[in-house]
Structures are given as C-alpha cells and as structure tokens.
Amino acid sequence: MRVQQITILGATGSIGMNTLDVIARHPERFQVYALTANRQWERLFEQCRQFNPRYAVLLEAVAAEQLQQRLQHAGLRTEVLQGMAALEQVSRAPEVAMVMAAIVGAAGLQPALAAAQAGKRVLLANKEALVMSGHIFMRAVQDHGATLLPIDSEHNAVFQALPRDGNGDLRAMGVRRILLTASGGPFRTVPLAALEHVTPDQACAHPNWVMGRKISVDSASMMNKGLEVIEAHWLFNASADQIQVVIHPQSVIHSMVEYVDGSVLAQLGNPDMRTPIAYALGFPERIDSGVAALDLFQIARLDFEAPDARRFPCIALAYAALRSGGTAPAVLNAANEVAVAAFLEHRLPFQRIAAVIEHTLAAIPSGAADTLEQVLAVDNQARQVAREHIERSQALC
C-alpha cells in the first residue's frame, strides 16, 4: 500500500486535531507533509514533534519565528514557512495527495482553492470556500480533475446517502430533496426574551459537539446551518427548494436524502467528527476512526422539529442570499464573521448578529462572482459596512 502524504490546513483547530487522531491510527496509509496554523505555535510544535512534517506554516510572522526557534532547540528538522503564499505552496505541492481544508472563515478560501487547482483530493471542512466562491471553486474542481469530499457531518452524510454513480442531477437520481439536520444548538429551548442577555461562553457550550468558538456561535444562531444550505447547493447541484433544514436535537442522524419513491436514506452515528474525516481519508474504502459504536438502545428516541423563524432568523437570511446568488453569499458570510467576532468580544448582543447581517445584505447589491478578485473585493466591502454598522449601534447605546 502506497503511503499518501497530506497537508492539514488549520491543524490546531478541532477538525485538524481530529484528523491527526485518525491519521495516527493508520501510519501505514498516511504521512503528514505539512501542518498549518494561524498563530498557535505552541500546539503546532507539539504536533510537529509527534508527526514530523516536512513543513509547518504559520500566518503570523512572530509566531513563525518562535516556532522556528523551538524546533531548532528540539533538534527537529521541520521547515517553518510563513504567510498566505506558503499556505498555497503546501496545498499544491506535487508530493501531496490530499489536503484537509479546515481553516475557519474566509482565510481558508485561497489555500483550499489552490489545492483544487492543483488537482488534489480536497477534504473540505471550510464552508466559506463554497459559500463565498462556489462557482469558482466547483469550476476549479472540474477543470483540474480534483476530487472534492465534504467533511461537514451533514454533507458527508448526504454524500454517503446519494448514489455513487450519480451525475450531479438530483432529479435523474430520483432525489426529491436533501434534509439537513441541525441540533438546534444551546438556545433551542431558551425563552426568546432570555436571548438578549446570553454570553459568549453560553453560546459556545454546544450540547453535542466540541467545536471552535466561531463555529459554536454559528451553531447557536443557526447561521452554521444557513451556510450549510448554500454549501449543499454547490456540492450537490441542489436548488434552495430542494434543501430543507430539520432540527434533530440528538445529533445522531447527520442528514438524510428523500427519494421520489418515498424512501428516505439516513446516515447515523455518534456526534464525533472523526467519522466523516475517516470516511473521506479512506474513500472509497472505510477505515477505523476510533469512534465508539452507536448504541441505539441507549439513544432510545429520535426527535425532529421545524426551525423557529423568530429564534433563528439567520436561516432565512442564508436562503435569501442563496436565491439572490452572485456575491450575496459572500456578503452574508463576511457580515456574519464580523458580527460573531464582535459578539465574542462583548461588543454586540447575540440577538443583534442577524440584524448586522441583514443590514449589510441590504447595503450591498449582489453582483457577479466570476473571479476571485470580485469575491475578495466584496468580502472587504461587506466587512467594512458591518463594522461601521456595529460602531454606530454602539454609539447609540
């Protein structure tokens, strides 16, 4: 068996660490080529010591210098690189067979796109790559013969439930719609009035999943699910009307595909990201993930409910951006990133996140999203509009 080399973009985040956990179980299959992070050089050093990658990349120059000194002191030969160009370099390197794209937010777009343009197997955990530039990204995958495998548990579940020989035409495959499940997050049953006073720590206390703070807030607002609706549109060539969000508090059914004959195929498993990661790493084989077997008797029941539009207004905003098309999803994503950051810094109430996004979408008309330059330009514009709106709101308080 030929050992496959892999670059992990965002190695110090939850997806990156879970990926390394799975890789460590299969040293005969996988070798780490490069590990990357934004600034967490201490954790990256420990990962370098365990997996001995050829390269370690940090976006921040000071962090890169600190890691280089620590590696030299430890006698490790991993070479340290710095900056966005370095992320793209280790994503398209000829030796690399697979790239785990797990950088959170818009910062992950360019290296993920570089991997697709280099014809790699792209394990996509970065929603923003498709939300911001779905047309560009999918065109790169097709034009350069890349393989795109979704890592989000929901899209991974849909991928598993669709016919393997499908041609991207859901109707031809007999699919009526895709059902994306959502836990409902920590505020599913909290009284609406109490949401005015929730804290970042409360928003990040997800009942089922262990995730980073940004994605945890997105789960609490269910913008995470809205972004996944847009992502599903590009991954599965599905219209907005073919994608439905279903709240499923147990997070056991990760998503479903409904067929025209009345059949509904679902993928079930414990809420552990190592399952979809292992599926993508081993595809088309299945390999051990380290995840415990699902005990249906212990679960005992599975519940479903429709999302509350008053509680989760971000879902409707995401559908509206998808239907608008063009740069609207990029505006949605940028405004959300700015609003979530402000909430985490205690500068914006939780319930104002949706208002910032709605204001930004209204302020910037949707335009063409045919080039990366267009996407990045509107991303910068949307961030500025969102920041100014938050500052004006603070001044009025």
Enumerate long-range contacts of 43-51, CB under 8 Å, 24 or more apart.
43/12, 44/11, 44/12, 45/70, 45/71, 45/74, 47/11, 47/12, 47/20, 48/76, 48/78, 49/74, 49/76, 50/20, 50/24, 51/20, 51/23, 51/24
Q: What is the pLDDT of residue 394?
A: 73
CATH of 325-397, one of 1.10.3720.10, 3.50.50.60, 1.50.10.10, 1.10.1740.10: 1.10.1740.10
User: What's the fold here for domain 4-150?
Assistant: Rossmann fold (3.40.50)
Q: Which of 150, 153, 174, 151 is nearest to 162 (CA)?
A: 174
Q: What is the pLDDT of residue 146?
A: 97
* The token pair that represents 239 in the structure block: 């219209």
Q: What is the pLDDT of residue 179?
A: 98
C-alpha to C-alpha distances, 234 to 36, 71, 135, 158, 168, nearest whole angstrom = 26, 41, 8, 13, 10
Stretches where the chain sits below pLDDT 50 are none
Between helices 274-282 and 153-161, what is the axis angle to 10°?
50
Per the CB < 8 A criterion, the answer to whether 220 and 350 are in contact is yes
Domain spans in the chain, listed from the N-terminal domain onward: 4-150, 153-270+293-320, 325-397
**DSSP type of residue 223:** H
Query: Which amino acid makes up residue 226?
Result: G
In this prediction the pTM is 0.92
Looking from the CA of 327 toward its CB, the CA atoms found within 13 Å total: 26
Tell me the Ramachandran region of residue 122: left when phi exceeds 0, alpha when psi lies from -120 to 50, beta otherwise.
Answer: beta
- Residue 71 CB contacts under 8 Å (≥ 6 apart), including other chains: 45, 48, 56, 77, 78, 80
- Residue 371 CB contacts under 8 Å (≥ 6 apart), including other chains: 136
Q: What is the pLDDT of residue 210?
A: 65
How far is residue 111's CA from residue 107's CA, in Å, rounded to a whole number? 8
